[in-house]
Homo-oligomer: A and B are copies of this chain.
Amino acid sequence: MTKEHDLINRYFAPLCSPSDAAPAFGLLDDTAILTPTKDHQLLVTTDALVAGVHFFADDPAHSIAHKALAVNASDIVAKGGHPDSYLLTIALPKTIEPEWLQEFASGLGEAQSEFGCQLIGGDTVATSGPLMISITLLGKIPAEKMVRRKGAKPGDVVFVSGTIGDAALGLLLRENDERITKAVLGERHSAHLLERYLHPRPRIELAAIIAAYASAALDISDGLVGDFGKLCAESDVGGTIEAARVPLSDAASRTLAQQPDLLETILTGGDDYEVLAVVPAVLADRFEQEAVNVMRIGLIVERQGGIKVLDADGQPLELAQCAYDHFGDIER
């Protein structure tokens, strides 16, 4: 057996269908095969993570695996679909030990169970550079139900899932930023923020309801305000977000009380992997009742209204990290 064959067989084949069975044939054939049903379409996305850029090389291997799949699942969910199957490409430095791979595969297994998908293929290559993981995820969605970034109309209500800013604050903690410390924040809140950075939780439970109600949606990966700008740009509309309505965890609220200047990090930092969903006003109450853990944070307006984040007095906040032209495109 080749070393690659052995590695695939040992760590990754247990995550997919056996050699006799579609779709993956135990990773022993040249391709996988998918048999689509006529009442569904397939969503496809790909996201890569590089050590030192998207995660810390010494993050736990199971967390890296979970995050690599989660960031892809988040894209599928935001379109109203459910994760179905994925391909994993991993570029391994020579320093990687079998124990690391075992833990990585174990984390991947847990993540695929959590998200309801399975491994169907991949590639393993050696690299002289940093560890890199690239995943392509396919999702299923009932025909004609994909929710685009385009489609928001003036008057629509802006919702966001979960809480915003935790991961960006967790990253600051991880980087030993002086504005946020475990000593001041306390063990429990610190642990929450670090956990949210390490383990994004795509909102699988919202997929069907987004498909049913949203006029536009996207996953929040590059920061709430910047991603809201992208949605507005694609929809050719403007929009406002009320900063005071943006849902915060206890840990983020406490951090903000101590360091008000971290509001910008919360609103524009990345790695939330929550959903921003825009819902027509007539459906907003029903959406709010049926969706778990979502919050109204703003309104879509005409394009010429631009994109604004309002403070508690209704005044626009100046956010240094983001500026918009009249199309809502982002200059960073």
Contact = CB atoms under 8 A, between A and B. Distances in A.
Interface of A: 1-2, 5, 19, 23, 25, 28-36, 38, 41-50, 52-54, 75-76, 78-79, 81, 85, 87, 89, 91, 120-123, 125-130, 132, 134, 136, 138-139, 141, 143, 146, 148-150, 218-219, 222, 234, 329-332
A120 B41 CA distance: 15
* Integer count of this chain's copies in the complex: 2
A125 B1 contact: no
The 7 A-B residue pairs with the shortest CB-CB distance, nearest first, are: A129-B129, A36-B36, A136-B136, A30-B75, A31-B43, A31-B45, A34-B42
A138 B23 CA distance: 13
Nearest to A20: B150
B44 A120 contact: yes
Given A43-B31, A148-B29, A330-B1, A128 B130 contact: yes
A127 B121 contact: no
Contact of A136 (B87, B126, B150, B330): B87
B134 A48 contact: yes
A127 B132 contact: yes
A76 B31 contact: yes
Given A5-B330, A50-B126, A127-B129, 17 more contacts: A30-B78, A32-B44, A33-B41, A33-B141, A35-B42, A38-B38, A44-B120, A45-B87, A46-B87, A46-B122, A48-B89, A50-B91, A89-B134, A91-B91, A91-B129, A129-B130, A129-B132
